[in-house]
Structure 1
Amino acid sequence: MSEDTELKRLRMRSWRRGIKEMDLILGPFADTALAALDAPARALFDALLEENDHDLYLWLTARIGPNPGAPGPARYGDLLDRIAAHAASRIVPG
């Protein structure tokens, strides 16, 4: 599969999640930051997309705000930190 096809597939999977909250976290990350990831990191992102949305949401929101949550599997730690930082940078204080 070409890199362009892989990126399109990952972007589509990021925007078409089971819950809207994950669409709004993973979709923008995929649109703006996914192309900068190297092949092993993209493969890890692909594996992350296989995880349950409710688990992903807990893992990411635990990194974004003061809410306690599950840290998630260690193998995803750096990637979850990147995604959470990207999401947090998009939050505009009310």
Structure 2
Amino acid sequence: MTSGEDIAIRRKRLRYRAWHRGTKEMDLILGPFADAHVDQFDDAQLDRLEALMDEEDPPLLTWVMRQEEPPAHVDRLFLEALIADHQARISS
């Protein structure tokens, strides 16, 4: 397998994982985000997405909805990109 094939498989897995979270609310936030961005992400950006997706759905949803502040270990810049993407989708 070439590195191009490796990243293609990784992107496909992340897209699937984004749409099959366990809670419909997070599916509808992460799924469209992954569909729109994963193909352009490099390995470092995919790492950032994976780290965010490793978080449990209930707290992640509260951060996206700005009901609670995320803990210090969360990549806030990447989370803000996810929030901005979600807000753009719901306002259009």
CA–CA separation in structure 2 for the residues paired with 1:9 and 1:73: 27
Corresponding residue number in structure 1 for 2:34: 30
Corresponding residue number in structure 2 for 1:86: 85
Alpha-carbon shift at residue 72 of structure 1 (Å): 3.8
Residue segments in structure 2 that go unaligned for 5+ positions in a row: none
Aligned partner of 2:34: which letter?
A
Corresponding residue number in structure 2 for 1:76: 75
For 1:1-94, what aligned pairs fall within 5 Å after superposition?
2-62=6-66, 68-92=67-91
% same residue: 36
8 Å CA contact 1:29–1:83 kept in 2: the answer is: yes
8 Å CA contact 1:59–1:72 kept in 2: the answer is: no
8 Å CA contact 2:52–2:79 kept in 1: the answer is: no
TM-score w.r.t. the length of structure 2 is 0.85
Aligned partner of 2:47: which letter?
A
CA–CA separation in structure 2 for the residues paired with 1:81 and 1:18: 22
What number of residue pairs does the alignment pair up? 88
Residue segments in structure 1 that go unaligned for 5+ positions in a row: 63-67
8 Å CA contact 2:33–2:85 kept in 1: the answer is: yes
8 Å CA contact 2:19–2:31 kept in 1: the answer is: yes
CA RMSD of aligned residues (A): 1.7
TM-score w.r.t. the length of structure 1 is 0.83
Corresponding residue number in structure 2 for 1:65: none
